[in-house]
Homo-oligomer: A and B are copies of this chain.
Amino acid sequence: MKTYTIDEITQIVGGMLTKVNDVKISKIAPPLLADENTLALALAEEEITNLPKSRAKAALVPLGVNIDWLTTIEVERPRLAMMKLLNVFYTAPEVNRGIHPSAVIHESARIGENVKIGPNVVIGRGTIVGDNTQIVANSYLGSGVKTGKNCFFHPGVNIGDRVILGDNIILHHGVSLGADGFSFVTEKPDNIEQAKKEGSVKEENLEQKIFKIPSIGSLVIGNNVEIGANSAIDRGTIENTVIGDDTKIDDLVMIGHNCKVGKGCLIVSQVGIAGSCVIGDRVVLAGQAGIADHIEIGSDSIIAAKSGVSKSFPEKSIVIGTPAMPRKDFVKQVKTIKDAGELIAKFKQYEPLLKEFEENK
């Protein structure tokens, strides 16, 4: 286990060191789980309170937390400092050097420099794998796929034909990229078309054949994108589905065909974005939110958790609820419902009086 001097650690995190003793650091942990060679992370109030009970001799604390009996590194932005530290103590999963003999790689595929490909990886015709990319195991890249440099694909990833990925992409377990869009058509208007047009389901239920609309578009993913376990992003019908640079996607997210997602978005677990949506840059979609098809969400908007978005919103919107509305309207609505309860009680009090007046009028 590598150890670091407290000065080295300070250099890494960039904070202000108040050195009480010359501790060696070999790991990081919350105060109560720390031993003598641990840098205690006391970033929040509760953890700071736990410091006197800790065996740690050094702690990372927010700026302004002065503790004279402990070596401390004070930092202005604790999460940023924590990120820097974690990068020091992180060990990447081990990947087979070179190409594992069980990998099945089409002879026409072009594999870059220093690429690592683990067991049971299948790579199709004409696919290009960029330099330094690592594909751990049990994954599939179809034909005409292109991955950038320095990508890391965890096991069980499935990538359909012609999907294009940028550099520094991280794909977690079981990610599906480029499955067909969910798109069908019938000879005559189906139930949902009728209901949209006429407000009710048609009287005669034609048992129509349902035709699949094939997806000939693909999926293009920018640089520095991370996609969580078992998430699925479908290919476009004719144009490509697009995910912008630096967008981060959590587990079990679904992004439908033809969507254009901007740069630097945060898409939290179990979010669903239906087909043909346009999501701006730096949009936050909190957990389990859903966006109906053909919706546009402006840049820098925040969609609250579990919201059901059925219309478009301009940039910098903060929306919540199902159907989703601006936060201030939602707050007002919650208040209305609360007030209505009181009002009903009051009204009942005055109702006999009003009745009497009306009768005597």
Chain B residues, Cβ within 8 Å of A239: 29-30, 33
Minimum CB–CB distance for A65 against chain B, Å: 19
B173 and A93 contact, CB distance less than 8 A: no
Write the chain B residue with the least CB distance to A78. B185
Binary contact readout A22-33 vs B (1 if CB under 8 angstroms, 0 otherwise):
000000111001
A305 and B288 contact, CB distance less than 8 A: no
A299 and B205 contact, CB distance less than 8 A: yes
Given contacts A176-B173, A248-B182, A358-B350, contact A272 B287 (CB under 8 A): yes
Docked pose: A173 CA to B157 CA in angstroms:
9
B158 and A211 contact, CB distance less than 8 A: no
Number of this chain's copies in the assembly equals 3
* Interface residue? A12 (CB, 8 A): no
Docked pose: A228 CA to B229 CA in angstroms:
14
* Interface residue? A97 (CB, 8 A): no
Of residues 320 through 357 on chain A, the ones whose CB sits less than 8 Å from some CB of chain B are 322, 332-333, 336-337, 339-341, 343-344, 346-347, 350-351, 353-354, 357
A213 and B251 contact, CB distance less than 8 A: no
Chain B residues, Cβ within 8 Å of A118: 122
* Interface residue? A115 (CB, 8 A): no
Contact among B140, B174, B343 with A344 in the assembled complex (CB-CB below 8 Å): B343
A290 and B292 contact, CB distance less than 8 A: no
Can you list 12 A-B contacts with CB-CB less than 8 angstroms, sorted by A residue number? A77-B187, A86-B238, A102-B120, A118-B122, A156-B174, A156-B176, A174-B232, A179-B229, A192-B266, A207-B282, A251-B254, A272-B287
Write the chain B residue with the least CB distance to A246. B210
Write the chain B residue with the least CB distance to A139. B138
Chain A interface residue count, CB cutoff 8 Å, equals 132
Chain B residues, Cβ within 8 Å of A20: none
Binary contact readout A150-193 vs B (1 if CB under 8 angstroms, 0 otherwise):
00001110101100000000101110100110101111101110
Given contacts A179-B173, A284-B191, A340-B340, contact A156 B158 (CB under 8 A): yes
Of residues 135 through 152 on chain A, the ones whose CB sits less than 8 Å from some CB of chain B are 136-140, 142-143
Minimum CB–CB distance for A138 against chain B, Å: 6
Docked pose: A137 CA to B270 CA in angstroms:
27
* Interface residue? A310 (CB, 8 A): yes
B308 and A288 contact, CB distance less than 8 A: yes
- For the complex of A and B, the 9 pairs showing the least CB-CB separation, nearest first, are A176-B229, A173-B176, A158-B173, A140-B155, A90-B214, A229-B232, A306-B308, A179-B229, A182-B250
